[in-house]
A = this chain, B = another copy of it.
Amino acid sequence: MLEQVGPVGTETAALSACAGRVLARQVVARADIPPFDRSPYDGYAFRSQDVENASEQSPVTLRIVDYIAAGDVPHTCIRAGEAAHLMTGAPVPEGADAVLPFERTRFTEEAVTIDTPVKSGSNVVYAGEDVRKGTILCSPGVRIDAGLAGTLAGQGIFTPCVYKKPLVGVISTGSEILEENEEPSPGHIYNSNRYSLQAACELAGCRTVYMGTAGDDRDVIAGLIGEAFRTCDAVILSGGVSVGDFDCTPEAMVLSGVRLLAHGLALKPGMAGAYGIYDSSNENGPYSGDKSSYSGENGPYSGDKSSYSGDGSRAVPVFGLSGNPAACMTAFYAVVLPVLRRQMGFAPGACLPPQIRVRLSKDYSRKNQSARLLRGKVDLTAVVQEMEITGGQGNQVLSSVAGSNAFAEIPAGETVQAQETVHAFLMGEF
């Protein structure tokens, strides 16, 4: 799926609203920062050679010939025996090659006395010391952090080009699901997947829209998927993906024009699941509730590596996840998030979660036929990363996802004892 989607597009945005956004263009410095030699202190600028023999016994007195405020420009150049009074941030005048803060001098309105040698370059912030014109400041796919926001501003870049935030449509299925405005009733449970999925997508930097719940009716589900295709860049469904009579999400996906890439994964929790791509250039368009549009064929897929093939078509990933809350979220972090990150504009190599090695806090003694992912909390600041396995690990146990930040991998057919080291990957924060 990673190979078949690409960034969802770019836009310009106000720099003051760009914290955390993903930059879409390389930025090359247009100007030196600072743009001129600058004083970091209130003080006096002069020629260092004038004071090379200065001492307490034989101080040197220089005549003040200029007064330069911040935002001002020098009015004259500094010659032997002269000094300029500078404010913090003011340009260092021509001729001067050193600055001394005023509290390290004695001074009057007319003259400043210095009783120590000062090296050439002292207390001068040279033009380009922060950023040199022509330097590559950042590459596409970099998140705008505080330092980069200020660096862009310093260059006069106040409306950077950033990747659009993918809009993720979330659809819930299952007749037992209660929505938040419904009263509890026997045999029903409140929809939790919707909230977990929306929170996870938004914390990752996507926008989300909840498309609604669709019971267990294939056509209603397909209708919601089709509706999502009108506006969304990705679609996540939960429920209805195993092999039972009523597990009709994969059928609904196919009905909506989705080309299925996988039905079931060698992963636990998260074994049940259907994954596919909807190519919006598909002639039939999205499913509109009219069954006659379902031909059983998905039309040719272009094979384009980018989601936008130039003619306005785009590859919309569609994820049919387990309705079991923990299985749903495990598949989200293992499979969905990397694809969303690619859509957000991260480089292909920066989409998969960071790998770590962790020591497990507990034994894991059950052999599984497929790889088993255990959720837990890793203290990344510890020298040895010990993973505290949180609460129950059942497919239903969502409470142990809360506060977790990593998944440890138990390979198929293996058991692990407490304190053994295994591979793990991080849920987010990358």
Contacts and interface: CB of A to CB of B under 8 A. Distances in A.
A18 interface: yes
Contacts of A36: 186-187
A397 B151 CA distance: 9
A180 B203 contact: no
Contacts of A103: 243
A210 B383 CA distance: 40
B200 A146 contact: yes
A121 interface: no
A147 B402 contact: yes
B40 A87 contact: no
A153 interface: yes
A411 to B, nearest CB: 20
Interface string A33-66: 1111010111100000000000000000000000
Interface stretch (A154-162, A281-289, A340-348, A361-369): A154-162
B150 A192 contact: yes
Interface centre among A72, A197, A199, A356 (most CB of B within 10 A): A199
A180 B17 CA distance: 14
Contact of A381 (B87, B324, B329, B380): B380
Q: State the number of copies, please.
A: 2
A426 interface: yes
Interface in A385-420: 385, 392, 394-404
A142 interface: yes
Nearest to A401: B147
A246 interface: yes
A112 to B, nearest CB: 14
Given A15-B195, A70-B246, A186-B73, A150 B398 contact: yes
Nearest to A42: B244
Contacts of A180: 15, 153, 156, 158
Interface stretch (A3-11, A123-131, A222-230): A123-131
A211 to B, nearest CB: 13
Given A35-B189, A147-B404, 19 more contacts: A19-B200, A35-B184, A41-B242, A69-B216, A89-B323, A90-B176, A103-B243, A125-B395, A130-B397, A146-B196, A146-B329, A147-B398, A149-B196, A150-B193, A150-B329, A151-B402, A153-B196, A155-B190, A156-B190
* A-B residue pairs, 5 tightest by C-beta: A42-B244, A147-B401, A150-B196, A147-B402, A146-B200
